[in-house]
Amino acid sequence: MQTQVAIIGAGPAGLLLGALLHKAGIDNIIIERQTPEYVLGRIRAGILEQVTVDLLRDAGVGSGVDAAGTPHHQIDLVFQNKRYPIMVSELTQGKVVTAYGQTEVTHDLMTHRANLGLTSFYSADEVDLHDIESKTPRVSFSKDGRRQEISCSLIAGCDGFHGVSRKHIPSNILKEFERVYPFGWIGVLADVPPVSPHAIVYANSDRGFALCSMRSMTRSRYYLQCPLSDQVSEWSDERFWDELQLRLDPELSAQLIMGPSIEKSIAPLRSYVAEPMRHGQLFLAGDAAHIVPPTGAKGLNLAATDVKYLSEAMIEFFTAKSSRGIDHYSDRCLKRVWRAERFSWWLTSLMHRFPETGEFGQRIQEAELDYLVHSRALSTSLAENYVGLPLDFGHQ
Ligand code: APR
Ligand code: PHB
């Protein structure tokens, strides 16, 4: 088999890249390890920056988010049992974020690809990359017991943190940066109206962090900071709701509508960056190259901007026969990646209980939160990062 771009991974990054390349007339094949059902079953964050929404529209996949996304003009911060609004739109000349689940984004992209009849191999085992330093790299994999091979000009490694692509960058070239946090998040999805439909709520409590989010007016998503050693089985629905109420302000706590969970899972928090994001004809995008802790919901948005830059660079490569874009891809992405890493790390550090800093750390966080909610300068800094810094930020 032959194609112009072989895309490893059918998460949001791989699917969006495939859609944008196809629109520009560039042939691509996706190779995914899991089944479509498995990919769609993963529950992840659901806050889209305007840049991400625009890109989905650009790719011809905006109708879902346009019909069912909920624009948010505000976020709320809770500390010392009081809730304070941050008027994100007002502080950013009218920008909003849109609540729309990653599961829905993936579903829309998958349907779009299937409708176009583009080639994707799901349940591909033992995916391997060959000759990535040459002009004619290849991808091989096993499907239904048969070994297959794809020749291409470029490879996009969109296979997430545990993927195979990044491992093909030689260890003397790859530099990794990592911070692992000493706690996790337990998340619950429930078919109940969100307690705060117009503002995501971030709560710093001396019992630990809590977050109130949503997927729609009838589906809520809540998270609690928990020890990494906890098992899901230790968290009955009742325990989860009780604990959430204890971490919110009294008003929200009283308004919380509880119901049976339809999904419950514990995830660790990690900051990670791999540099460079290109080696030879291989280009990493999304979680394959970087991970942010979920605080601030930057993961999917960063994946989307990588893909924007990568699609532009690949289109330039094939249509203008120029390597300028692909040569700058890694540097261009990493600037934005590190800005989002900084923001996610900062918001994580501000909102969570850190076992090692004790009550001193808690008081310092509360002082910073107090400063933040009363200072237009600090609120603006939070707001402009939350909605996403402009793509040309720092280029002027
Ligand atoms: N071969 C083929 N596919 C693979 C392999 C492999 N060896 N390893 C992993 N994959 C697939 C995974 O099964 C998954 O479907 O690559 C896909 C990667 O998708 P994601 O993990 O969703 O990563 P990405 O598309 O970069 O999306 C980034 O996901 O984790 C969130 O917060 C993150 O929202 C962000 C988004
Ligand atoms: C979510 O809706 O899953 C979500 C929202 C905001 C965050 C993180 C996750 O900061």
Q: What residue ranges define each of the domains in the chain, with the CATH number in brackets?
A: 5-178+269-387 (3.50.50.60)
CA-nearest of 16, 7, 21 to 306 is 16
Q: Which atom of ligand 1 is nearest to the CA of 14?
A: 25
CB-based contact 281:59 (threshold 8 Å): no
Let me know if 386 is a catalytic residue: yes
- From first to last of its 396 residues, the chain has per-residue pLDDT tens of 999 999 999 999 999 999 999 999 999 999 999 999 999 988 888 899 999 999 999 999 999 999 999 999 999 999 999 999 999 999 999 999 999 999 999 999 999 999 999 999 999 999 999 999 999 999 999 999 999 999 999 999 999 999 999 999 999 999 999 999 999 999 999 999 999 999 999 999 999 999 999 999 999 999 999 999 999 999 999 999 999 999 999 999 999 999 999 999 999 999 999 999 999 999 999 999 999 999 999 999 999 999 999 999 999 999 999 999 999 999 999 999 999 999 999 999 999 999 899 999 999 999 999 999 999 999 999 999 999 998 888 876
Q: In the β-sheet with 97-99, what is the strand arrangement from edge to edge?
A: 47-48, 97-99, 70-72
Degrees to nearest 5, angle at CA 341 with 338 and 347: 140
Residue of 95, 298, 308, 352 with catalytic role:
298
Q: Which atom of ligand 2 is nearest to the CA of 296?
A: 10
Let me know if 294 is a catalytic residue: yes
Ligand nearest to the CA of 265: 2
Ligand 2 centroid–CA 47 distance in Å is 6
Ligand 1 centroid–CA 237 distance in Å is 29
pLDDT the model gives residue 251: 97
pLDDT the model gives residue 109: 98
The residues pairing with 202 across neighbouring beta strands, listed in sequence order, are 77, 211
Whole-model pTM: value is 0.97
CA-nearest of 239, 254, 255, 243 to 210 is 243
Residue 375 makes CB contacts below 8 A (sequence gap 6+) with none
Strands 120-121 and 28-31: parallel
| The two structure tokens encoding residue 333 | 């992405």
Check if 294 has its Cβ closer than 6 Å to any atom of ligand 2.
yes
pLDDT the model gives residue 392: 86
Residue 335 makes CB contacts below 8 A (sequence gap 6+) with 394
Q: In the β-sheet with 290-291, what is the strand arrangement from edge to edge?
A: 82-86, 74-79, 199-205, 208-216, 219-226, 175-190, 261-275, 290-291
Check if 45 has its Cβ closer than 6 Å to any atom of ligand 2.
yes
Q: How far is CA 194 from the centre of its chain?
A: 21
pLDDT the model gives residue 230: 98
